[in-house]
Structure 1
Amino acid sequence: MLWETDDVVRVLDPSEQRFVRHATYTGRSVTVLGELDAAALGAAFAALQRAFPILVCRIVEDDDGNGILLRPGHIDAVGAWVSFGDPDEVPIPAESVDPGDQLAYLDVVLAEEDRARVTLFVHHSVADAGHCVELFARLWEYYTDYVETGAIATRADVSARETTAAQEQTRPGTVPEYPASLEALLAQRGIERGERSGLELVTRPLVVAEQARAERTDPAQPTLARPARVQLDPVATARVLEIARAHAVSVNGLVTAAVLRAYADLSGADRVSCVYPVDLRRRLDPPVAADAGTNLSGLAAFVADAADTEDLVVLARRIGTSLHNDLADGVIEQSVLHFPDFYGPNRIHSTAGHIALTNTGTVPTFRAPAGLILDDYEIVYLSAHPRPSTGASAAVTFLVYTYLGRLTIGRLGGGALAGELLDAVAAELSWAPADREAATA
C-alpha cells in the first residue's frame, strides 16, 4: 500500500469508478479576449482549491483497479500552469496530469494581441457537468474579485473565520464536505436497487469476447478529445427555442429528435436508439446543490423505428413523454444502481452501438471584469492514462449546450458518418414543422 490509511476518504462508487480506468478529466475551456492577468488567475485557482478541497484530493487504484479517494496528505497543491501558444488550440498540458497528485488542473495559454485560452480540467470521478460548470463559474468570480478588489473571500475562508471566532473544533474535510456519490445520496433517501434498470430497451447480452476481463495494462500516453462542433447563431437558436415553446416540447427533446432523424437518414438503420444522462439534483427530495455531488445523473433510454422519425415535433414529444414516465416510475434513479451490470470487469450487459447524447443546457455567462470577454466555451476530455475499456461503446456521442445565445452541438466518433452528422443535425433544426410539411406535400 502506497498511501496512509488516515488519508483514505472512501472507495469510489460505481458511478465514479467508471472514469478511473482512463483517468478521465472533463475540461471546461474558454477563449479570452482582453488583457488577462495571469497572476490574478493563479490566485483565483488557489482560492478555488481552498474552497473546494476535493480538487486537491487524489485517486489511487488498489490491486483490483478500484479507485480510492484520498486526501492530499503531505503533497503540495499544483497551481495554475501558464504558457504561451495558440489560443485557438486546446492542447494537452505540457505538465503531468496525474490523479495520484490532484484532481483538478488549470491550464492557461497566453498569446499576443490580448488573446488567451483558459481550461479547467477536473477528474470526472468527482465532478460531472453541473459540478464542473459551478467550479468554472466560481473560478471567474474569484478572478474578478481579485482584479477589482485585490482580495478573494471564499466560503472556506468565511467558514474558517466563523470557526475561529466561535473557538470551535472542526474535523478536517467537513467545511465544506466532500461531494457525495449518487449511490450514497439515493441510499440516504431510502432508494434501493429494483428489478428494472430503465435501460432494457437498449440492452443486449455480452458476447464472449466482451465478457473477458480486461487486464490492467500499462497506461498509454495522455490523449485529448476535442469534439467537432457546429454552432447555430443566436437567430437560429432563438428559432429552435420558439419551435419548442410553440409545440410544448423541450429543447432537449427537439435536439434529441433531430439527432435521431439525422442518424436514421444517414445510416439507413431500421431502428435508432439513444442513451442520455438526466441530472437528478433538482429531482431528488430534498434537492442537491450543484457541488454537493460527484456524478448525479441517471441514464434514460429511447428507441424508435426509423419510419417513426419523420415528424420532428411528434418524435420530440414521444421522447419527452418517455422521459416523464421513466422519472415518474423511478427508473432513472435505478439506472445508476445497475451500473455494475454495464461498466467494469464484472459487467453482464452491454448498450454498445447506441447514440449517446449529453445536453448540459444553458451555460451561465461567467462573471468577468470590465474589458475582458469570455468569447467561446467548449467541453473537452483528457484521458491521463488511457487503458482498454471495460464498458459500452457508443456509435457516436453528441454534446449539446447553449452559451451566449448560441446552441452548440459537438460530436465524438461516428465512424464513416462522422463528417456528415453535424451538418445533418443542424439542417434538421433549421426546419420548422411547416417547412417540412411543405417539402413533403
Structure 2
Amino acid sequence: MPELPHACDVLRDEVDVLRTLAPSEQRFVRHGTYTGRSVSVRGALDPVALGEAFDFVRREYPVVACRIMEDTAGQGYLLAPDEQAWTPASVRQGDVETVDPPVVDPAGQLAYLDVVGSGADQWRVTLFAHHSIADAGHCVGLLSGLWDFYTRIVDCAPITVVPQAYPKPLEWYVEAHGIVRSVASGFEDVTKPLPPETDVVPAAGEPTSSTLARPLRARLDPDTTTRIVALGRKSGVTVNGLVTAALLRACASETVGGAVPLGCLYPVDLRSRFDPPVAAAAGTNMAGMASFAAEVDPSGSLMELAQRISGRLARDLSSGIVHQSVLHFPDFYGAARTYSLAGHIAVTNTGVVPAFRTPAAIALTDYEIVYLSAHPRPSAGASASVTFLVYTFARELTVGLLGGGANTDGLLAAVRAELTALSVACV
C-alpha cells in the first residue's frame, strides 16, 4: 500500500478540512476500517453500466469521495474530495466464491466498488465504505442507491441526482436534542477499569497489508426464520432479544460446566428514536450501545433469558442511557480510554436487508457483510472474544461469526442448533 501523506501537510490548507471526526467515527480510523456489502449476482450483468452507477453514487453522496487523514496522534480529519483522484469501479474476471481485498486508501476516497465475473452470468459485487462515514444503515443505503442507478441506466429510465449533505455524527444529534452525559455509561456490566500503568496506545509500527474479514455463517431457511419471527410476536419478546439469547446460550454451551457468566455489548440504531427521525444518509455512525450480562445456563429457559435481555434494553432506552452512551465513547475506545471492554461478546443485528431494485436480466442470490482493514495496526480499542453479525436477507435469518478461536466450527454449530430449537418452540 502506498505511504499515506502526513496529515499536517494537508491541514495547512484549512479550506480542505471539512471537520475533525467525532469519537464515534474516530474508532475506525486506526485500522482504516471499511464495512463491505457483498452480493452474488446471477444473470447478464453489464459491468460498464454498474461502473456508471457507482459514479452516480459518488455524485449523490459526496461523502464517499472524501478523504481521511491522520495527524501524528492518530486523530482523524475528514477532508473534502479530490475530484480528479476518484478511483472508478474495479472490474475483473475471477472466482466469484471468494472476496479478495481490493487496494483501498482512506487518504484517497472512502468508497470502493469491486466487481468480479466468472463466465457469462455469475458475478460478485462488493461495495466498501469507510466505517467512519457509513454504518450499516448508511452502507445499505449506498448499496440500494447503486442498484437503483444501475437499473435506471440499463432500462434507459430518467436519472435525477440529488446531492446529499455531508452526514453528521451521532454526537451532533445528541447535542442538538439537548442530551447530556449521565453518570452511567450503560456499559458497566461488561467493563473494568484499566490499571493506571496500562499503555492504552500500542506501538504504531508499520501498517501491514490490507486484510479482509469474511465471517463464517449459519443460515436458516425462510420457514425457520418465519417461525422465529412469529414466536417473537406471540410472546411479546423482540426478535433481537430471542436471537441474542440464543447466541449467548450457544457460547455457554461450548464451555465446560453449568452456568457461565457472559457479558454482551451491542449497537442500537438510534435513527428512528430521534424526533424527527434521521435519514440513513444524514448520519455516519448512529448507534448507541447497550449491554447485558448474566449467568447463562444452557439448560435453563431461553425465553426467560430473552425476556431479560429485551426488558433491560427497553429500560435503558426509556431512561435515555442508550442515547447518551456515545458521550462515554472516549472512555472505552482509542488513546484516551480508561476502561477495558476485553472479553465481551459483540452482537450486531442490522435487521432485515431491503429488497434491492434490479432489472429483469439479473437476480441477487446472496448477501454478506465483510470488513476490510486498509492499514491494520495494533488495536487501541475494545477486544471482543467473539463477534456475531445478524441480518435477514431474502427471508433467511443469517448469523455471521468472527472470532471463536479453535472452536469456531463447534460454536457455529451450536448457534444453528439454538436457533433451530427456538423456531421449534413456535410450532
TM norm structure 2:
0.94
Structure 1, 414-423 or 211-220: larger mean CA deviation? 211-220
Structure 1 residue 227 and structure 2 residue 215: aligned? yes
Structure 1, 180-189 or 239-248: larger mean CA deviation? 239-248
Which residue of 1 is the match for residue 66 of structure 2?
57
Structure 1, 202-211 or 6-15: larger mean CA deviation? 202-211
Equivalent of 2:148 in 129, 135, 141: 141
Q: Could you report, residue by residue, the CA deviation over 1:235-283 in whole angstroms, capped at 9, with x for unpaired residues? A: 1111111221221111111110000111111124621110000000000
**Post-superposition shift, 1:423?**
1.4
Which residue of 2 is the match for residue 25 of structure 1?
34
CA distance in 2, matches of 1:14, 1:42: 33
Which residue of 1 is the match for residue 138 of structure 2?
131
Residues 330-341 of structure 1 mapped to structure 2, 5 A cutoff: 330-341=320-331
Given residue 39 of structure 2, which amino acid in structure 1 is its aligned partner?
Answer: V
Equivalent of 2:168 in 175, 180, 186: 180
Contact 1:357 1:400 in 2 (8 A): yes
**Post-superposition shift, 1:306?**
2.2
Which residue of 1 is the match for residue 3 of structure 2?
none
- Which blocks of at least 5 consecutive residues in structure 1 are unaligned? 157-175, 437-441
CA distance in 2, matches of 1:359, 1:82: 31
CA distance in 2, matches of 1:351, 1:75: 42
TM norm structure 1:
0.91
Contact 1:342 1:392 in 2 (8 A): yes
Residues 177-326 of structure 1 mapped to structure 2, 5 A cutoff: 177-207=165-195, 210-268=198-256, 270-307=260-297, 310-326=300-316
CA distance in 1, matches of 2:197, 2:41: 47
CA distance in 1, matches of 2:311, 2:326: 21
Q: Measured at CA, do residues 435 and 244 of structure 1 come closer, stay the same or move farther in structure 2, by a change above 3 Å? A: closer
**Post-superposition shift, 1:432?**
4.5
Which residue of 2 is the match for residue 169 of structure 1?
none
Q: Could you report, residue by residue, the CA deviation over 1:1-43 in whole angstroms, capped at 9, with x for unpaired residues? A: 2222211000000000000000000000100000100111011
SS at match of 2:124: strand
Equivalent of 1:44 in 42, 50, 53: 53
SS at match of 1:220: coil
CA RMSD of aligned residues (A): 1.7
CA distance in 2, matches of 1:70, 1:239: 47
CA distance in 2, matches of 1:20, 1:202: 24
**Post-superposition shift, 1:434?**
7.5
Structure 1, 346-355 or 207-216: larger mean CA deviation? 207-216
Q: Measured at CA, do residues 346 and 146 of structure 1 come closer, stay the same or move farther in structure 2, by a change above 3 Å? A: same
**Post-superposition shift, 1:333?**
1.5
**Post-superposition shift, 1:212?**
4.0
CA distance in 2, matches of 1:85, 1:434: 41
- Which blocks of at least 5 consecutive residues in structure 2 are unaligned? 1-7
Given residue 153 of structure 2, which amino acid in structure 1 is its aligned partner?
Answer: Y
Contact 1:58 1:72 in 2 (8 A): yes
**Post-superposition shift, 1:210?**
4.3
Structure 1 residue 155 and structure 2 residue 162: aligned? yes
**Post-superposition shift, 1:417?**
2.8
Structure 1 residue 347 and structure 2 residue 354: aligned? no
Given residue 243 of structure 1, which amino acid in structure 2 is its aligned partner?
Answer: L
Which residue of 2 is the match for residue 396 of structure 1?
386
Q: Could you report, residue by residue, the CA deviation over 1:46-89 in whole angstroms, capped at 9, with x for unpaired residues? A: 00000000000000001111000000145421111101101111
**Post-superposition shift, 1:433?**
8.3
